Amino acid sequence: MVQAAVDASEADLLVSAQGGNLFAFEEIVRRYQRRVYSTALRITRRHDVADDVTQEAFLRAHRALASYDPARPFGPWVCRIAANLAINHLRSPEAREEELDEAALASRPTAAADGPLGALLDQEARTLLEDALGALPAEQRAVFVLRTFDDLSYKEIAEALDLEVGTVMSRLSRAREKLRGALSGYLRPALGRAGGAA
């Protein structure tokens, strides 16, 4: 039963989960847990909150599964649920008292790079990007994350966040402009270091 769930297509898993098959839903969670957690972490910037948001997103998805159309992709839908929960958390009074969890950024996985210098520059760029993302207002950060990392359309983001498409585009434009400004000083010095090391 478990192996059958692992080998099944997403649509088959969703139909089976709608019929009450918990193994099927567990497999759906396994396939999307990392993506949902990543969305929540990029918006909330805290491991503990991202864990809670991820769990709640899948609980809500499971509760709404009976009315879900299995022909639609599950990933964008559950990421939209997570993004809404993350934004709601950031708007809550307790979120204003929380400080940035630096450990969340320090422990994120690193991508493969060409040699020690490449790894150093790659890590430096990632740290700068994460810091710049963290400096964005929550509403701009959420739109940027959903568009850039989760590849949602303007319309999907608007539906997820209960916004007009024009508002989504405006917030995304402002987020990109702020990120460009924050990262503009990185490339030239980084290329200079790389050239000097040759």
| CATH code, domain carrying 54 | 1.10.1740.10
Q: Is 95 a residue whose pLDDT tops 90? A: no
Domain boundary among 98, 121, 156: 98
Considering the domain architecture, whether residues 94 and 4 belong to the same structural domain is answered as yes
Mean pLDDT, residues 148-169: 89
Task: Report how far residue 16's alpha carbon sits from residue 18's, in angstroms, rounded to the nearest whole number.
Answer: 5
Longest dimension (CA), the chain: 62
Band (pLDDT 50/70/90 cuts) for residue 98 is low
Domain identity same for 2 and 93: yes
Confidence (pLDDT) at 188:
53
Task: Answer for the pair 75, 35: CB distance below 8 angstroms, yes or no.
Answer: yes
Same domain, 129 and 191: yes
pLDDT at 168: 94
Domains: count for the chain: 2
In a domain, 12, yes or no: yes
Higher pLDDT, 84 or 128: 84
What interhelical angle do 138-148 and 115-135 show, nearest 10? 130
**38 shares its domain with 125:** no
Q: Does some domain include residue 73?
A: yes
Assess if residue 157 is contained within a domain: yes
Burial 105-135 (b: 16+ CB within 10 A, else e): beeeeeeeeeeeeeeebeeeeeebebebbee
Confidence at 114, pLDDT banded by 50, 70, 90:
very low
Domain that holds residue 146: 113-198
Residues 35 and 128 in one domain: no
Residues listed for the chain: 198
d(CA 84, CA 47): 17
Residue 180: band (very low, low, confident or very high) from pLDDT cuts 50, 70, 90: confident
Give the pLDDT score at 121. Answer: 52
Highest mean pLDDT: which range of 47-61, 80-94, 147-161: 47-61
The reply to whether 61 and 120 lie within a common domain is no
CA distances from 178 to 113, 144, 148 (A): 27, 11, 15
Same domain, 118 and 176: yes
Residues 44 and 117 in one domain: no
Is the whole-model pTM more than 0.85? no
Contact criterion met (CB below 8 Å) for 146 and 157: yes
